[in-house]
């Protein structure tokens, strides 16, 4: 999230903090580019997980101090990272063997649009390529669960939670949950179901900024990451 400031930076930080709460003891978790790369900074130190990056890392730690950065140790977003004890470094072929073999419990990915049926578009927007689709097309099919961490609306104010994606798809019917600065949404046969509402936000605001019907079925208050 380098170079982001103000309310936008605060929203992205809160999304990453809530995304960290999706991780459970012993999970193998892929982190995509964008907001997910900040998740390690918010992990509960008492929860032991193994973080995977598609470019060939297993056992990602947090971001290093500037003086400790190693240009050869980077995540999928080309950001310097640290390696946890017991980490492994390998080529992308082995990395995607792990993905395609179904060894990932969870994938936390960024998104540009998610549809009410769980379709994901996360590699092209407004006619601009974002370095191609990359490995996300494999990850959304290989991971047992896919959670999208993204801001609720685009820079132009357009909705990112939509009835039908208008951007090229990464995967069809692959998203289980979406976390934005406004709330936590599960995708079910009913479409978007609001499970948690962020403090200071109303269900009417969520509906007004979502281009698809939203069913309200709260299961618990928003997590402690907002405190």
pLDDT digits (tens, 9 = 90+) for 31-51: 998 899 999 989 988 999 999
pLDDT for res 77: 83
Residue 203 in any domain: the answer is: no
What percentage of the chain has pLDDT greater than the value 70?
91
CATH number, position 12? 3.40.1080.10
How far is it, in rounded angstroms, from Cα 15 to Cα 182? 9
**Dihedral of alpha carbons 185, 75, 50, 12, sign:** negative
Residue 157 in any domain: the answer is: yes
Instruction: Exactly one of 54, 151, 181, 196 is catalytic; name it.
Output: 54
pLDDT for res 123: 83
Q: How many CB atoms lie within 10 A of CB 117?
A: 17
How far is it, in rounded angstroms, from Cα 77 to Cα 22? 21
What percentage of the chain has pLDDT greater than the value 90?
74
How far is it, in rounded angstroms, from Cα 149 to Cα 12? 9
Q: Which residues pair with 188 in a beta bridge?
A: 191
Residue 91 in any domain: the answer is: yes
Is 54 catalytic? The answer is yes
The stretch 158-182 carries a mean pLDDT of: 96
Q: In Å, what is the CA distance from 76 to each residue of 47, 49, 108?
A: 23, 18, 12
Residue 222 in any domain: the answer is: no
The stretch 10-26 carries a mean pLDDT of: 95
Residue 81 in any domain: the answer is: yes
Give the tens place of pLDDT for each residue, 68-90.
999 999 998 889 999 999 999 99
Q: Which of 4-18, 55-69, 211-225 has the lowest mean pLDDT?
A: 211-225
pLDDT for res 1: 44
Mean pLDDT of the chain: 90
Residue 12 in any domain: the answer is: yes
Question: Which are the contacts of 125, defined by CB distance < 8 A and separation ≥ 6?
Answer: 112, 154, 167
Residue 101 has pLDDT above 90, yes or no: yes
Residue 187 has pLDDT above 50, yes or no: yes
Degrees, nearest 5: CA angle 47-53-54: 150
**Count of the separate structural domains present in the chain:** 1
Give me the domain span that covers residue 23: 6-184
Residue 26 has pLDDT above 90, yes or no: yes
Q: Which residues pair with 215 in a beta bridge?
A: 193
Residue 194 in any domain: the answer is: no
Residue 121 in any domain: the answer is: yes
Question: Do residues 164 and 192 touch, judged by C-beta distance below 8 A?
Answer: no
| Three-state secondary-structure class, residue 178 | strand
Question: Do residues 145 and 186 touch, judged by C-beta distance below 8 A?
Answer: no
Q: What global pTM score does this model have?
A: 0.92
Alpha-helix residue ranges (DSSP H) falling in the chain = 6-20, 92-100, 136-142, 203-208
The stretch 154-171 carries a mean pLDDT of: 93
Give the model's confidence band at 224: pLDDT under 50 very low, under 70 low, under 90 confident, else very high: very low
> Residue holding tokens 């140790």?
73
């Amino acid at each position: 999230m380098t170079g982001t400031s103000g309310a936008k930076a605060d929203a992205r930080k809160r999304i990453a903090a809530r995304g960290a709460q999706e991780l459970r003891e012993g999970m193998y978790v892929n982190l995509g580019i964008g907001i997910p790369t900040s998740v390690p900074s918010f992990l509960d130190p008492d929860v032991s997980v193994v973080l995977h990056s598609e470019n060939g890392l297993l056992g990602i730690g947090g971001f290093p101090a500037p003086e400790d950065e190693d240009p050869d140790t980077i995540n999928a977003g080309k950001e310097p990272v640290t390696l946890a004890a017991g980490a492994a470094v390998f080529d992308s072929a082995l990395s995607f063997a792990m993905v395609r073999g179904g060894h990932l419990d969870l994938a936390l990915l960024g998104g540009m649009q998610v549809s009410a049926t769980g379709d994901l578009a996360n590699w092209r927007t407004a006619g601009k390529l974002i370095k191609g689709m990359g490995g996300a097309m494999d990850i959304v099919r290989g991971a047992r669960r896919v959670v999208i961490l993204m801001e609720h609306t685009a820079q132009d104010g357009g909705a990112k939670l939509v009835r039908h994606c208008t951007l090229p798809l990464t995967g069809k019917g692959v998203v289980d949950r979406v976390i934005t600065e406004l709330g936590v949404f599960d995708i079910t046969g009913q479409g978007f179901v609001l499970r948690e509402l962020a403090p200071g936000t109303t269900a009417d605001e969520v509906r007004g900024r979502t281009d698809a019907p939203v069913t309200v079925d709260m299961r618990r208050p928003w997590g402690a990451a907002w405190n």
